[in-house]
Amino acid sequence: MGDAVFLRHAKGWRAKCEVCGREAEDISATLKVCAPCVREHFNNARPHLEAAHAKVRERYNLPARVPKDPKGVRCRACGSDCRIPEGSKGFCGIVENLGGKLVRKFGTPERGLLTWYYDPLPTNCVPAEFCAGSGGAGYPRWCRTPRGDIGYHNLSIFLGSCTYSCLFCQNFSFRELTVGGKPTMTAAELAEKANESVGCACYFGGDPASQMPFVISSAKIMHETAQREKRIFRVCLETNLSMNLPSLKQFGELSLQSGGGIKADLKCWSSETLYALSGVEHRTAYDNFRWLGKHHHERPEVPFARASTLLVPGYVDDEEIRALASFIADLDPTIPYSLLAFHPLYHMDDMPYTKREDAERFVKICKQEGLERVRIGNPWLLC
């Protein structure tokens, strides 16, 4: 636990809910509303939640909320379905209405806003235990040894924009890329990084959903090159899954064909909590996950659909986990599900770490709902 957070909670520091007046350590001082009030008294909670997101987004010169100007230009790239007014940006910050035309600054088929690095395999990615490159699933067709692609690398691609506005973001440094508009690369330049020492490429961020034309374009070049050279090469996605369905289908086909997978970061179940934590009000991620679930059985030796949830204390509780687990299990009980301990960061850095007893109870709930592959992804962070 960080020193500042540790001292605050060691002294019994508690925030107050502005709706019900309750005080507790698992109430975010940024949101100013407790989880029960978010779900049960949303109309009263909403002004506080709106103000919290607006204050954070103003710092990065981003729209306070999803633009819905009836005269604006419509962007259909993700579930936010922005209607962007003249001279303004979409919620992601990289699409603009210039002269009545939609202009995508980055994330085009030609150029993306990103950084990248080589990560030795096996990696510590969330679904590593279930994947080919790090866990050896699908050997010998999808990886080089029974323990994965030992001695090879994952091409880790960190996208510099996002379709959500999560106040707990664990990778919030992407915002500096969104604001600065650099570094950028062409799809061909990125594909060149996937040389013979690379066993897989994983797009994350930020979120790939904000730059899917680039993600698809660059992944296609990598995949086709590897096929031509007759070498194993997987393409994977870690995403909030908010992209439009045609984009998901295009990348999904590449991922299935290559032995990769798509890991969905399902923030929570209730729409009210999703708005509180992430600033969006659509359920595209859940609709898209249904599509993933329907195709999960097509390559059972390497799980295609994968899911995770960050256990934000207080807000992601028994009710949220039970609903999520039931949703996933109804699609396919063999879909791997990783529960991730919360690390106090960004604008929820006053919150406590996830308690071990809570995480272990959540695992039991998931199994009660029928899930067969449930794990705590980062148990070393539990307190």
User: What tens-digit pLDDT sequence spans the chain (383 residues)?
Assistant: 344 444 455 445 789 999 999 999 999 999 999 999 999 999 999 999 999 999 999 999 999 999 999 999 999 999 999 999 999 999 999 999 999 999 999 999 999 999 999 999 988 788 888 889 999 999 999 999 999 999 999 999 999 999 999 999 999 999 999 999 999 999 999 999 999 999 999 999 999 999 999 999 999 999 999 999 999 999 999 999 999 999 999 999 999 999 999 999 999 999 999 999 999 999 999 999 999 999 999 999 999 999 999 999 999 999 999 999 999 999 999 999 999 999 999 999 999 999 999 999 999 999 999 999 999 999 999 99
Structure tokens at 42: 């949303």
- The pLDDT assigned to 125 comes to 80
- The pLDDT assigned to 12 comes to 59
Contact indicator for 210, 240 with CB cutoff of 8 Å:
no
- The pLDDT assigned to 250 comes to 98
Q: 61: phi > 0 → left, psi -120 to 50 → alpha, else beta; which?
A: left
Among 273, 313, 354, 270, residue whose Cα is nearest residue 27 = 313
* Distance of alpha carbon 230 from alpha carbon 212, whole angstroms: 26
- The pLDDT assigned to 351 comes to 95
Q: Give this prediction's pTM.
A: 0.94
Sign of the alpha-carbon torsion through 283, 286, 287, 292: positive
* Distance of alpha carbon 192 from alpha carbon 198, whole angstroms: 11
User: Where are the chain's structural domains?
Assistant: 64-105, 107-260
* Distance of alpha carbon 146 from alpha carbon 134, whole angstroms: 10
* pLDDT digit string, tens, across residues 249-289: 999 999 999 999 999 999 999 999 999 999 999 999 999 99
Amino acid at 225: T
| Helices of type H across 66-197 | 132-135, 174-180, 187-192
* Distance of alpha carbon 36 from alpha carbon 128, whole angstroms: 34
* pLDDT digit string, tens, across residues 65-99: 999 999 999 999 999 999 999 999 999 999 999 99
* Distance of alpha carbon 30 from alpha carbon 57, whole angstroms: 13
Q: How many CB atoms lie within 10 A of CB 344?
A: 21
What are the CB-based long-range contacts (under 8 Å, 24+) for 220-223? Answer: 220/254, 221/187, 221/188, 221/191, 222/191, 222/194, 223/254, 223/257, 223/258
* Distance of alpha carbon 326 from alpha carbon 285, whole angstroms: 16
**Burial group, residue 146, by CB count within 10 angstroms (0-12, 13-18, 19+):** exposed
Amino acid at 62: L
